[in-house]
Structure 1
Amino acid sequence: MKGWTLEYEGFEPEDEGLREALTSTGNGYFCTRGAFAWAEAGSVHYPGTYMHGGYNRETTIMDGVPVLNEDLVNLPNWLLLELRIGGRNAIGTENVEFLEYKHELDVKEAVLKRRIRLRDAEGRITLLETRRFVSMANRHLGAIEWRITPENWSGEVQVISALDGRVTNRGVARYRDLEGRHLDPVSPRTFGPEIIGLLARTRQSRIYVGEAARTRVYRGRSILPVERELFQISDYIHQVLSFEVEEGTPVRIEKMVSFFTSHDHAITEPLTNAGQAARRFGTFAETFEAHTRAWDELWELCDISVPNDERVEFLYRLHAYHVLQVCSPHTTDIDAGVPARGLNGEAYRGHIFWDEMYVYPFLNYRFPRITRSLLMYRYRRLDEARALAKEAGYRGAMYPWQSGSSGEEETQVVHLNPNSGTWDPDHSHNQRHVSAAIFYNIWRYWEVSGDEEFLHEYGAEMMVEIARFWASIAHYNPARGRYEIHGVMGPDEFHEKYPDSDEEGLRNNAYTNVLVAWISKTVREMLDALPERRRRSVIARSGLTESEMDLWREMTTKMFVPFHETEEGEPVISQFEGYESLEDLDWDAYRKKYGNIQRLDRILKAEGDDPDRYKLAKQADTVLLFFIFSEKEIRSILEDLGYEYSHELVLRIIEYYDERTSHGSTLSFIAHAGVLAGIDPESSWKRYLVALESDVGDVQGGTTKEGIHLGVMAGTLDLIQRGYLGATVRGGTLYLDPRPVKALDGACLPMVVRGTRVEVSLKDEELTVAVKDDPGKTVRVATEEGERTLQAGESLTLGTPGAAAEAPREEAETQAEEESAPA
């Protein structure tokens, strides 16, 4: 890695899956994995193309029981280009020798490159240089350029350019027992001699996908005349282009591909429009120039300079690149949520969870319009959330743990444990905290953006319905004089129920109950802040009553939060009621036996044991409260509930659960790094580096090739701005509370606060915020010394608490390896 480039030297078959995921190219509309253009799906390569909302539902019969699953569909493969030399078989990794091989992704220009020098069985040496991009300027365009140079031979070559609809979903090993056929062929077609097209349809959801490819051969700037042959069947079409090449003289192949679906606006039908677009595209160079200009505009708001640590700076850019290829300005025009694993793999079946809670902070401060469009995905499914709540016996809106096309609950009832090879019951639909996360996301979006229209027209209704749900699932316990919530799971995920109990869920998960207390207060603040006409409208539409608002007021002060004492007799918040009664786990024994114990749930179940029995956690649960809320906020929540708050209590809670958390989700490193930033900066930075390295290093032993972890990537970006530089917005005011580390000295990042661009920078233990916008633009800034309003061109500098010592890189990388060694 250097500068803006992720580089791989040498062809390593066992690493191709990871490389293909990390070098995907996308534009927020569709995304394609970085596979060889000639590769078909197999044990080494997995070409895949995915689009927002491209779901299909199929049924698998397992032991006589129908299991329904909805998947993000692997769409027809538009990449296929094959090279034949002298009438021989097409070049492949199995029949040539690689003399040179370089695979690289330039994240600044969002272009995937390969440089391959190969020698075939006849001793002919050929240099193949390739470039590929998915256009950020034209969301319907993908382009491939091959530059072929025969180094010691001349003769005839053939290039096969194809569109392949025979693909299936087979990218995740543990899903392969589930039905993976999602496409039905419709028809191939040509649009004149240069352009081939293919139309396919998803089998159940009936989404039509049209692709058209225009393939040309160039010598210099001139189009080279070629002979063309056509072959087509119902779900596949290709052209064979034949032409002569001369030793030492390069030729260039351009494959310009258009991609349309029946979800698009202003089209006749997908294939017709794809054919028209392919005919109108400019050359590779012309379209690439427009593409790079579009990315330049994005980088103006997204690039963080970290001159003190080149690797951190590069990984930051790589993560920002992956966020933007899933959530870009193109996303604002489509019905899209935030798939937890992006658009470059099939893990989690492409579903939308709560990971958006980690993604929105980055977008809120740069592209609030994108956040707004992603929140509209939730609003459009509000009626389905209401129906889910009603079916479960509750009121309001209960959003599903896994969401796909319609907002139904997509969580499977069984889950394959790869450690044991058995299908275990899956109770994770009880993670009702996803609804709380949606409420939280709406409010934070409004605080940063000031988008009154969204709050009035959409956000307020969702917030009321979510608060109504929590009021209906909670019940009053007169013995305690408190409200309680039973039958749910927290973010931990290892605990689905109590040991030996047949009843699903847990009582009084602290994370959930504290969030509900905050929701009960915030929903009233939101209603009070609305203009009177808007307030009346929201109340009328939702049928909100005074008794409901009185109940919220009471829940703000009377939610139950469980506590227990440590062995030293000091109080800590219990992850859930009864946590202290669980057994202690011999962590050292399991580390010695298995090495990587991040997924203790799978390990214990494979041993015939049960994670419900032990004091452990997959990821931050109780600790997460101190990550999502500022110290002032969490203090206020707990004190409103009548519980004592102290800095010592927070330290004790963090230390207590840190010793009992396996970090089975890399999201956990984000939360723990965040809460430790102001407490133990050195430990915080170590965990930050683990999170930062987690996808590029595939720390979970093979999961990244199934799709990048979008929440973790976005979370590492948020940690710099919010965790270390301490820049957050509440109620339209930019609060500065820096907690820097030495590696970030010199860091500079742009942000947008309620429509005004600012720049936050750290230099020599001083933090500076400057308004970098047009005259008349202002930002209200709050520090420990008070508040002031900055005008355009003005800046404010304040000292930091002292730059903490950076964790030595070698030590941090050692910890990353220890935390993430493959099981």
Structure 2
Amino acid sequence: MEGFTLTYDHFDPEAEQLREAITSTGNGYFCTRGTAEWEDFGEIHYPGTYTHGGYNRETTIFDGHPVLNEDLVNLPNWLPLKLRVEGEPAVRFGNVEVLDYRHSYDVRLALVERYLRFRDEAGRVTSLRSRRFVSMAHSHQAAIEWTLTPENWSGRVEVVTALDGRMTNQIVARYRELEGRHLDPVSPRTFGPEVIALKVKTRQSDIYIAQAARTRAFHGDRPAETERRLHQMQDYIQQVLSFDVEEGRPSRVEKLVSVFTSHDNAITEPLAAAGRHVLRYPDFAGALDEHDSAWTELWDSCDVRLPREPRAQVLLRLHISHVLQVCSRHTARHDAGVPARGLNGEAYRGHVFWDEMYVYPFLNLRLPEITRSLLLYRHRRLTEARAAAAEAGHRGAMFPWQSGSDGTEETQRVHLNPLSGQWDPDLSHRQRHVNAAIFYNVWRYFQATDDLEFLRDYGAELMLEIARFWASIAHLDPETGRYEIHGVMGPDEFHERYPDSEEPGLRNNAYTNVMAAWIAHTAPKVLDLLPSSRAAMIRRHLQVTDEELETWRHMSRRMCVPFHDGVISQFEGYAGLEELDWAGYRDRYRNVQRMDRILRAEGRDPNRYKMSKQADAVMLFFLFDEEELSELFGRLGYDYDRDLARRTIEYYDERTTHGSTLSFVTYAGVLAGVDPESSWERYLVALESDVNDVQGGTTKEGIHMGVMSGTLDLLQRSYVGTSITGDVLRVAPRLVDRLDGVTFCMRFRGTTLRLAVEGDKLILSAQAEGFRGPLHVGVGDDVRELTPGGTCVFAIPGGVPGTASGR
């Protein structure tokens, strides 16, 4: 890895699917895995294209019981380009001698490139250079360019260009017993001599998907004399382009593609739109130039410079690239949430979880219009959340743990344990804390943007209904005088119920209860922020009474938080669980990240032990700073000494397997102020988690949006130390030796700021254009007003003078 480029210098069949996920190309509307165009689906290669909202439900029968699942559908494969030399079989890795091979990824442009030099069975040596991108300039556009050079021969070649609608969902091994067919054929079609097109539809959700491809061949800048043959079936269409090539003379093939679905705006139907658009596309060079310009604008807003850590620098940029390929300005025009595994594979079935909590902080301070649109995904599903709460006997809105097309609960009720081969009950839908995450996301977005219009029209209703849910699910214990919440799961996920109990869920998960208390305190503030007429209307519409507001205020002061041995208890009864023989298990299994599966395969119950998959109670120290938590716990009547964070973090760190990549992000964040060196070690692990597939096989199923975004948020929030208190943007840098030279831009309440760390100085500059002031920024107690085009220079406590790059 160097600069903006990731390069694989040899072909490795076992690593190919991981590389395909890492080198995906997307634009926030659709993404395509980085599969070689000349390879078919099989054990080594997995072509996949996915778009926001492209879901379909199918039913599988297990033991006579129907199991319903909704998947993000693997759409028709638009990639196929195959080369035949002098009538021989199409070139693949397996039927030629590979003389040279490089697979590289231009992170700045999300452009995947392959260079293949090979010798065929007849001794002909040929080089093939492939470049491919999904356009950031035009949401429906993608393009492939081949440069083909015969090195020791001249003759005739055939290039097969195709659109393949025979795709199924199969990349996740543990889902393969479930129905993976989601597409039905509709029709192939041509639009003139150069354009083939294909239309399919999803089998249950009736989404129509159309693709069109325009393929041309060139000798230099001159069109090649080409013969074309057409072959088509209901779910597949191809053209074969035949033309002559000369020794030492490069020839080019360009395939421009358009992708539409029936969810798109301003179309009559997707097949006509796809054909019309692809006919208007420029050549590859023109399309790439427009794509480059669009990415340049994004990098101006989103790039992060970390000059003292070269590998971390490239990984941060890789993460920025992937986040923007899933969440871009194109996304903002669609009904889209944040799939936890991006649009790069089928893990978690493409569902939307609480991982968005890790995604939004980076976007809030750069491209807040994207966060705004993604939050609307939740508001549009408020009706379903209300219905789910009512069905469970609660009030307000109860959002699902896994959300897909319409906001109903998509979490499986059974889950395959790959170690035992058994289908175990899955109670993870009881992670009600997703409701707290949505409330938190709306509030933090408002703090970063001061978008009162969004709060007025959408956010307030969401937040008040979520607050109402927590008041409904909580109950007041008359003996203790405290509110309790029973029957839930925390973020940990290893603990679903108490040992030997058939009753699902736990009592008083500390994270859940503290979040509920914070929500109960914050919700009335939301009403106070609104114009009085709007606040009165919302109260009438939702029937929010004075008594209900008083209940919220009482909850904010009397929520139960369990403790034991001077630390926050993960949940009531945690102290009575058994300790695990960690050393013994690490000796036997080495990787204990999924300790729950290991124990179940041994016939033991994970609920019996003091262990966690990921940060649970520790999440509180990640989401709130010390001042906020001190105030929160004080309001609840609990002591909050400065050492509580350290004790609690250390206690659970020893008992956490980090079975989720999010855990490395969270622990890196909470350790930043407690143990900076350990924090940085976790940070580096988090940075490597996808590119090196630290979980041993999960990244090929889809990148982890939470960890990629989380590493970006960690730098700005935990290390540079940005936070928002009232109307002040505060900065408190840590690990300043590693941060020396850090530079990035932010948008704070509509104004673009540039932040730089230079030795012992923090420099904040405001762009004059579009300034929306006044803006207040501060380091410690030094708070100043930032003027249009102005700069504030602060001294960094503990900074090293004169060490900045270029000083």
Question: Which position in structure 2 is the counterpart of 1:468?
Answer: 468
* Pairs within 5 Å for 1:521-600: 521-565=521-565, 571-600=566-595
* Pairs within 5 Å for 1:85-484: 85-484=85-484
Question: Which position in structure 1 is the counterpart of 2:803?
Answer: none
Partner of 2:416, secondary structure, is: strand
Residue 768 of structure 1: how far off its partner (Å):
1.9
Q: Are residue 601 (structure 1) and residue 596 (structure 2) matched?
A: yes
CA contact (8 A) 2:761 2:799 kept: no
Q: Are residue 789 (structure 1) and residue 746 (structure 2) matched?
A: no
Q: Are residue 651 (structure 1) and residue 646 (structure 2) matched?
A: yes
Q: Matched residues in 2 for 1:75 and 1:452: separation?
A: 39
Residue 737 of structure 1: how far off its partner (Å):
1.6
Q: Matched residues in 2 for 1:156 and 1:786: separation?
A: 74
TM-score, normalization by structure 2: 0.98
Is there any run of 5+ residues in structure 2 with no aligned partner, and where?
A: 801-807
Question: Which position in structure 2 is the counterpart of 1:46?
Answer: 46
Q: Are residue 764 (structure 1) and residue 759 (structure 2) matched?
A: yes
CA contact (8 A) 2:401 2:409 kept: yes
Partner of 1:94, secondary structure, is: helix
Q: Matched residues in 2 for 1:524 and 1:765: separation?
A: 41
1:736 to 731, 737, 750: 731
* Pairs within 5 Å for 1:74-89: 74-89=74-89
Which amino acid in structure 2 is aligned with residue 749 of structure 1?
F
Residue 756 of structure 1: how far off its partner (Å):
0.3
CA contact (8 A) 2:23 2:110 kept: no
Residue 740 of structure 1: how far off its partner (Å):
2.6
Which amino acid in structure 1 is aligned with residue 717 of structure 2?
R
Partner of 1:170, secondary structure, is: coil
Residue 648 of structure 1: how far off its partner (Å):
1.4
Q: Are residue 774 (structure 1) and residue 769 (structure 2) matched?
A: yes
Q: Are residue 798 (structure 1) and residue 794 (structure 2) matched?
A: yes
Residue 187 of structure 1: how far off its partner (Å):
0.2
Residue 777 of structure 1: how far off its partner (Å):
4.4
CA contact (8 A) 2:435 2:466 kept: yes
Question: Which position in structure 1 is the counterpart of 2:31?
Answer: 31
CA contact (8 A) 2:750 2:770 kept: no
Which amino acid in structure 2 is aligned with residue 131 of structure 1?
R
Q: Matched residues in 1 for 2:447 and 2:208: separation?
A: 39
Question: Which position in structure 2 is the counterpart of 1:491?
Answer: 491
Could you list the per-position Cα deviations for residues 657-691 of structure 1 after superposition, in whole angstroms to 9, with x for gaps in the alignment? 11111111111111111111112110100000000
Partner of 2:92, secondary structure, is: coil
CA contact (8 A) 1:55 1:72 kept: yes
CA contact (8 A) 2:49 2:76 kept: yes
Could you list the per-position Cα deviations for residues 257-285 of structure 1 after superposition, in whole angstroms to 9, with x for gaps in the alignment? 01111001111110111011111111000
CA contact (8 A) 1:521 1:556 kept: yes
CA contact (8 A) 1:448 1:732 kept: no
Question: Which position in structure 1 is the counterpart of 2:674?
Answer: 679
Q: Matched residues in 2 for 1:642 and 1:800: separation?
A: 35
Which amino acid in structure 2 is aligned with residue 123 of structure 1?
G
Partner of 1:616, secondary structure, is: coil
Partner of 1:139, secondary structure, is: coil
Q: Matched residues in 2 for 1:631 and 1:447: separation?
A: 18
Could you list the per-position Cα deviations for residues 179-222 of structure 1 after superposition, in whole angstroms to 9, with x for gaps in the alignment? 00000000000011100000000000000001000000011111
Q: Are residue 720 (structure 1) and residue 703 (structure 2) matched?
A: no
Which amino acid in structure 2 is aligned with residue 721 of structure 1?
Q
Question: What is the alpha-carbon root mean square deviation over aligned residues?
Answer: 1.0
Could you list the per-position Cα deviations for residues 471-498 of structure 1 after superposition, in whole angstroms to 9, with x for gaps in the alignment? 0000000111100000000000000000
Could you list the per-position Cα deviations for residues 20-44 of structure 1 after superposition, in whole angstroms to 9, with x for gaps in the alignment? 0000000000000000102221110
Q: Are residue 6 (structure 1) and residue 1 (structure 2) matched?
A: no
Which amino acid in structure 2 is aligned with residue 238 of structure 1?
Q
Question: Which position in structure 1 is the counterpart of 2:605?
Answer: 610
Q: Are residue 755 (structure 1) and residue 776 (structure 2) matched?
A: no
Is there any run of 5+ residues in structure 1 with no aligned partner, and where?
A: 566-570, 805-823
Which amino acid in structure 2 is aligned with residue 216 of structure 1?
R
Alignment identity in percent?
62
Residue 775 of structure 1: how far off its partner (Å):
7.5
Residue 743 of structure 1: how far off its partner (Å):
2.2
CA contact (8 A) 1:448 1:731 kept: no
Range with greater deviation from structure 2 (309-318 or 781-790): 781-790
Residue 741 of structure 1: how far off its partner (Å):
4.2
Q: Matched residues in 2 for 1:601 and 1:801: separation?
A: 44
Q: Matched residues in 1 for 2:75 and 2:481: separation?
A: 56
Question: Which position in structure 2 is the counterpart of 1:624?
Answer: 619
Partner of 2:260, secondary structure, is: strand
- Could you list the structure 1 runs, at least 4 aligned residues long, displaced by more than 3 angstroms after superposition: 775-778
Q: Matched residues in 2 for 1:717 and 1:655: separation?
A: 24
Change (3 A) 1:656 1:279: same
Residue 803 of structure 1: how far off its partner (Å):
5.2
Q: Matched residues in 2 for 1:786 and 1:99: separation?
A: 62
TM-score, normalization by structure 1: 0.96
CA contact (8 A) 1:695 1:708 kept: yes
Change (3 A) 1:775 1:186: closer
Residue 759 of structure 1: how far off its partner (Å):
1.1
Change (3 A) 1:183 1:471: same
